[in-house]
Amino acid sequence: MYKGLNERPVKNKAQTMRKLINGVAEVFRTDGYAGLGVNKVAKIAGVNKKLIYRYFRSFNNLVEAYVVETDYWMQFAENMRQLTVPKDLEDTKRLISNVLKNQFLYFHRDKEMQELILWELSSDSELMRSIHRTREAMGQQFLELTDPYLNNADINFRAVAALIVGGIYYTILHTRYNGGMFSDLDLSTDSGREDILNAIDQVIDMVFDRSLSENN
C-alpha cells in the first residue's frame, strides 16, 4: 500500500479502476482528447494519480481501457462471440445492415465516440494507431460473414464497408461542426437520419442482389 493512502488494494481495486475510467470519460465530454492528462483524470476520479500506474501500469493503458468500453467496433467484437451465426443469405444481409445502421445511430448520439475518432484522425498518437489496428483485427470477423456469399462475385465488400463506415464518420462529424445539413439531408431530424438508415439497407441489398445475379 502506498504511504498515506487509506485504500485496501484488493477490496477497492475494481471501484478505483472504475473511477479512473469514468474520469477519462468526463475529460472527453468536457475538454475532448486534448484535455487528457494524468493529473486532471486523477483529480476528477478523486484518487491519487499513483493508482493509475498501480492498476493500469501506464496512463495509455487507462485510456485504452476507456476506449475499449466506448468504441462501437470494440463492443461489437465482444458481442460477436454471443451472436448466432447467420443461417442463410437473408440472415446475413440483415445482420450486416443492422450492424452498420446501429453504428450510425451510436456514432450520432455518442459525443465521446466522436472525440475518439477526431483524436485518431488529427493526432500523431501511437496509442490511437494501436487501437485502430485492434479495431481492424476485430472487424475482420464482421467482414468474413459475407465471404460465403460474395467470394465468387465481382464485388469487394470490404471496399463497400469502408465507404459506408467512412461516410458515417465524415457526415456526422461534418454536421456536428457545420450544422445539420449534408447532401440536402438534415441529420438533426428523425427523417434525415431515417433516410441514411434506409440508404444503408438499399446499398447492402444491391450488393447481395448483384452477387446473386452474377452467380445464377
Determine the Cα–Cα distance for residues 56 and 63; give it in Å rounded to an integer. Answer: 9
Q: Using one digit for the tens of pLDDT, what is the confidence trace for 77-110?
A: 666 666 666 778 888 888 889 989 999 999 999 8
Q: Is the pLDDT assigned to residue 21 strictly greater than 90?
A: yes
Residues 21-40: what's their mean pLDDT?
A: 89
Higher pLDDT, 24 or 11: 24
Confidence at residue 116, expressed as pLDDT on a 0 to 100 scale: 85
Contact in structure between 133 and 141 (CB atoms under 8 Å): no
Query: Hey, how many other C-beta atoms are within 10 angstroms of the C-beta on 63?
Result: 25
Task: Sort residue 179 into left (φ over 0), alpha (ψ -120 to 50) or beta.
Answer: left
Q: Is the pLDDT assigned to residue 206 strictly greater than 70?
A: yes
Q: 2-15 burial string, b = 16+ CB within 10 Å, else e?
A: eeeeebeeeebeee
Confidence at residue 4, expressed as pLDDT on a 0 to 100 scale: 42
Question: Percent helix, strand, coil in the chain (nearest 5)?
Answer: 75, 0, 20
| CB proximity list for 93: less than 8 A, separation 6 or greater | 204, 205, 208
Retrieve residue 192's grid coordinates: 434525415
Determine the Cα–Cα distance for residues 15 and 23; give it in Å rounded to an integer. Answer: 12
Record the pTM. 0.80
- Top mean pLDDT of 21-25, 70-74, 84-88 is at 21-25
Confidence at residue 71, expressed as pLDDT on a 0 to 100 scale: 83
Q: Is the pLDDT assigned to residue 132 strictly greater than 90?
A: no
Q: Is the pLDDT assigned to residue 75 strictly greater than 80?
A: no
Confidence at residue 73, expressed as pLDDT on a 0 to 100 scale: 79
Confidence at residue 32, expressed as pLDDT on a 0 to 100 scale: 82
Q: Is the pLDDT assigned to residue 185 strictly greater than 90?
A: yes
Q: Is the pLDDT assigned to residue 118 strictly greater than 90?
A: no
Q: Using one digit for the tens of pLDDT, what is the confidence trace for 8-17?
A: 554 588 999 9
Percent of the chain with pLDDT over 70: 87
* Strand-pair partners of 185: 182
